[in-house]
Amino acid sequence: MAAPRDRSGTGPRTRPGRRLRARLRARAGSWRRGGSAAWLRTRKPASLRTAVAMAFATGTAAVTVLVGFLSYDAAARLVRVDEKSVFSQVVRDLRTQVQEKPFQPADYTTVDPDHDGPRDDLTRPTRTDVQILGAGGRIVEPGRPALPAGDGERRIADDARAGRYAEREAEIGDEEYHVATVALGGGRGAVQVAQKFSETEDLLSALQQRTALLAAAVIALSGAGGWWLARRITGRLVRLTSVAENVAEHGRLDVPVPVAGRDEVARLGRAFDDMLGRLASAVQDQQRLVQDAGHELRTPLTSLRTNISLLKRFDELPPDAREELLADLAGEARELSDLVNELVDLAAGQRDDDPLSDVNLAEVAEKATASARRRTGREITVRTVSPAVVEGRPAALHRAVTNLLENAAKFDAGGTEPIEVVVTGARIEVLDRGPGIADADLTRVFDRFYRAAAARGLPGSGLGLAIVREIATAHGGHAFAARRPGGGATLGFTVGTNA
């Protein structure tokens, strides 16, 4: 049988309650599958300040609630135990009285002008309600309020043994009492004493309310104090975050970084400031390197373009001019290749992946000298005054010594005396007998692309000594240059203990 259709005729008719239950089940399923996690994600604190304040307030609240609960529990126990012990003592005293002396019910009535009767001994130490029963359990003097006198109390009143007693809990009106009935003996009657428990519970209830109010006040104050403390703690972090966002958005590295104090936040600020300084210095070095490289590359490229244009008339040139043109092209190509290699080495010098290790500088000097002898054909001697083992990168230190030797061989090309390498501890120096270095050039020979007036006609890129300085600086040392007594120059570098 076909399902009944609704009035529109578009589908089967369903009950609204069934559709509602289906939607609720679908929502419950989505909640179980991930809705709770999504809710928790949306309930995360929006900032570190809020998180710190909430953590501080939560911790304080937990401690306050725990201390308040333990304090109230201890106080309630003490009060209840104390009340119970007092009442038990009253019952014991009453039993002792009736066992030591045969009292009559009238002895415990309130008609005692001197207030020194046995009843006063019961009511003096505590707020105890007293009711007197006569023979057969009849009430001789009711209590205030009247205490229950049932079958159990009547049996105690008729008991022949003095001091026999019975206890029970009784509800009188809206109050709860602990009632004890003590027999006078001989069937003469009994004395009932009662203690109101509701007063103690009211007192404890008031104490509980005050404890809760005090805990709420402490939690509120801790929340305010936590917010203030979090603001003090995270204020500098917020300022540092603003600086970092400003740097990321605008790319400026010269922004001032707030640094104050000596704690971890201050250390973070100083580290961030140093990082920005290093980045700014690296950007400046990169820009200067690009500018200098562009300037230096123009000369060989211009010369190459000129010589290439002459190749169009190569057949018209005499044989001597042809050989000179080809030699110039080869030399310029070689010079351009050397310049590019030097630029690559200089740009990658501070990103050397060669791991740090213990390096014997005397061995580095010997290996670099052996390579330089094969390339230049010059006589080179090595003298080790005091050997030293330093922490450094062997390949980079080898390159620095090699560049110094090639520089000495270039400027002392026609020399007859050997080039000397002297190793003194963590100091390496190369001595030659070339034209020397002018006083005005001593402080600039390690600059990039710098060429003294006497060296402008010599081949080279002007980057070899700059690489030496970069390597020395990366190893915690420095490069130096001086005029050699008797002619020539002394160039070298030192290696620090913290490469």
What's residue 456's pLDDT? 45
What's residue 13's pLDDT? 41
pLDDT confidence tier of residue 36, bands split at 50, 70 and 90: very low
Does residue 3 register a pLDDT over 70? no
Task: List pLDDT tens digits, range 310-355.
Answer: 777 777 778 888 788 788 778 777 767 766 776 676 666 544 556 7
Q: Which domains does the chain have, with CATH numbers?
A: 101-198 (3.30.450), 253-351 (1.10.287.130), 353-494 (3.30.565.10)
Per DSSP, the residues of 23-72 read HHHHHHHHIIIIIHHHHHHHTS-SSHHHHHHHHHHHHHHHHHHHHHHHHH
* 43: its two tokens: 């309930």
DSSP-assigned beta bridge partners for residue 490: 431, 482
Q: How many whole angstroms separate alpha carbon 83 and alpha carbon 77?
A: 10
Of 194 and 301, more confident = 194
Q: How many whole angstroms separate alpha carbon 116 and alpha carbon 91?
A: 18
Q: How many whole angstroms separate alpha carbon 148 and alpha carbon 125?
A: 23
Peptide bond into 145 cis (omega under 30): yes
DSSP-assigned beta bridge partners for residue 167: 180
Q: How many whole angstroms separate alpha carbon 86 and alpha carbon 126?
A: 7
Q: What pTM was computed for the model?
A: 0.42
Judged by DSSP in three states, 239 sits in helix
Q: Find the mean pLDDT for residues 187-199.
A: 81
Q: What is the helix (H) or strand (E) element at residue 21, kind and residue range?
A: helix 16-30
Task: List pLDDT tens digits, range 266-295.
Answer: 777 778 778 877 787 777 777 776 766 665
* Count helices and strands in the chain by DSSP H and E runs: 11, 12
DSSP-assigned beta bridge partners for residue 493: 428, 479
Query: Is the CB of residue 290 less than 8 Å from the CB of residue 322?
Result: no
Query: Is the CB of residue 469 less than 8 Å from the CB of residue 345?
Result: no
* 60: its two tokens: 């304080």
Q: How many whole angstroms separate alpha carbon 335 and alpha carbon 467?
A: 17
- Taking alpha carbons only, the member of 284, 234, 287 closest to residue 254 is 284
Query: Is the CB of residue 117 less than 8 Å from the CB of residue 97?
Result: no
What one-letter code names the amino acid at 309? S
Where do the H-state alpha helices sit in 349-479?
361-376, 394-411, 464-474
Query: Is the CB of residue 126 less than 8 Å from the CB of residue 163?
Result: no
Rounded percentage of the chain residues whose pLDDT exceeds 70: 74
pLDDT confidence tier of residue 126, bands split at 50, 70 and 90: low
Task: List pLDDT tens digits, range 73-125.
Answer: 777 777 777 777 878 888 888 888 888 888 888 887 776 665 566 777 666 65
Q: How many whole angstroms separate alpha carbon 16 and alpha carbon 11?
A: 14
